Structure 1
Amino acid sequence: MTSPYEKTALLSSAYFPPVQWMQKLHRYGKITVEAHDNFTKQTYRNRCLIATANGVQALTVPIERYEGTKCPMRDIRISDHGSWRHLHWNALVSAYGESPFFIYYEDDIRPFFERRWDYLFDFNMETTLKLCELLDVEPNITVTDHYVDADAADIDDFRDAIRPKHPLPDPDFTPKPYYQVHNLRQGFQPNMSALDLLFNEGPEGVLHL
């Protein structure tokens, strides 16, 4: 059986991606992020999940309307509607302000909510690279220049498998419980944004991928 390290993981773009998504970056020899699939609502493409004192909260990046029923992910523009950057950052402070490592990483993460990006795909790539840096994950990442047909034997296609609702089976991913600041009240919340892992476990977070 071919090991993941000898294969390529094909992933959709993701906003501060979940632990499962980051696990692929850590375990696969090559990572390809799809830029030319069509944007799909209610996916990690513009949504991340965080664990709060009141349970799981979804943070969604608003996008500008596009013509027609479909639009390539690469062409999706971020909207400034509703002061979402301010709201997302306040949600993170509320959820993780008392977590063990928030104080160490807040200066790395806050700029994503102070600066404007035009395109969602570019913004997502920057959040991904920052998480890789902070979690000490060193993936070999490329971005597609066309829509990829994943029939090749050495590609594992996770583009539609890793999603907030009704994810497809992934035998290689079993969430490893770790400390979460709201454990006692809510219990362990699996597969949150990797920000949850970073703020709660810090340098040890990579051991859970």
Structure 2
Amino acid sequence: MAVDTTKSTLLIESQYFPNITYYKTLINLDILLIERYEHYQKLSFRNRCYIAGPNGRILLSVPLARGKNQRTVMKDVRISNEEKWQGQHWKTLVSAYRRSPWFEYHEESLGKLYEQPAEFLLDWNMACFEWANNVIGLSHPVAFTDTYNKEPDPGITDLRDTMSPSETIPGDTGPVYTQVFQERVGFMPNLSILDLIFCEGRRSLELLKL
């Protein structure tokens, strides 16, 4: 992809309902460039996200065809639909957030998203990303890589593989807001953008910019 040197571009992998750090990083850039020619990396946010539960974080993981160890180019990674994972994820979301201030406003549209057929992980991730962006009012242009470049062009901020579920990002100071189970388990930082949407609604974009 040719880089517009007058605009700031972020190169990063696609994620399943990305976390708040992902969004805070994107918010200050002009263009999002999604890597689609990398090899799938296991134990990453590419097919998982974390939401708030009554006993702490809850993992939502999209099952993949041929297992988690496949060395497949990301654009070709297929979802395994042998399990009714979409229904399971949806039930978990309803259980976790039905008492949140903003869940009822988005229940219908998000429920319809989870009813859509999902064959490729990248397509599913982008559908989730588009849904969340529409809700919070984020309109950054999105493009996709045409090939894999270990060293991207000058002018591109490369943050591929810098966010891992097993690591805490140094200096991460995401927004603090009231969560559903905060009185029981304390505040849980850097959950999926879904947590911020259901808890803060229209203030989500404002909080991401802080």
TM-score by length of 2: 0.90
Is the contact made by 2:11 and 2:156 (CA closer than 8 Å) also made in structure 1?
yes
Determine the structure 1 residue equivalent to 2:190: 191
Q: Which residue of 2 aligns with 1:101?
A: 102
Residue 62 of structure 1, CA deviation? 0.2
Separation in structure 2 between the aligned mates of residue 148 and residue 27 of structure 1, nearest angstrom:
23
2:102 counterpart letter in structure 1: F
Residue pair 2:40, 2:70 contacting (<8 A) in 1 also: no
- What does 1:3-82 correspond to in 2, within 5 Å? 6-65=7-66, 69-82=70-83
Tell me how far 1:152 sits from its aligned partner.
Answer: 3.5
- CA-based RMSD of the aligned residues comes to 1.8
Are the aligned partners of 1:42 and 1:164 in contact in 2 as well (CA < 8 Å)? yes
The within-5 A match list for 1:53-202 is 53-65=54-66, 69-167=70-168, 169=170, 173-202=172-201
Cα distance change, pair 91–200 in 1 and its aligned pair in 2 (3 A):
same
Which segments of 5 or more consecutive residues in structure 2 lack a partner in the other structure?
Answer: 1-5
Deviations 1:77-99 (A, max 9, x none): 01113211111001101110000
Residue type at the aligned position of 1:205: S
Contact 1:18 1:194 in 2 (8 A): yes
CA distance in 2 between counterparts of 1:105 and 1:114 reads 14
Query: 1: CA distance between counterparts of 2:33 and 2:151?
Result: 11
Letter in 1 for 2:105: Y
Q: C-alpha deviations, 1:119-140, integer Å up to 9, x for none? A: 1101101110111100011112
How far off is 1:69 after superposition? 4.9
* Aligned residue type for 1:191: N
Identity %: 35
Distance 1:158 1:190, change over 3 A: same
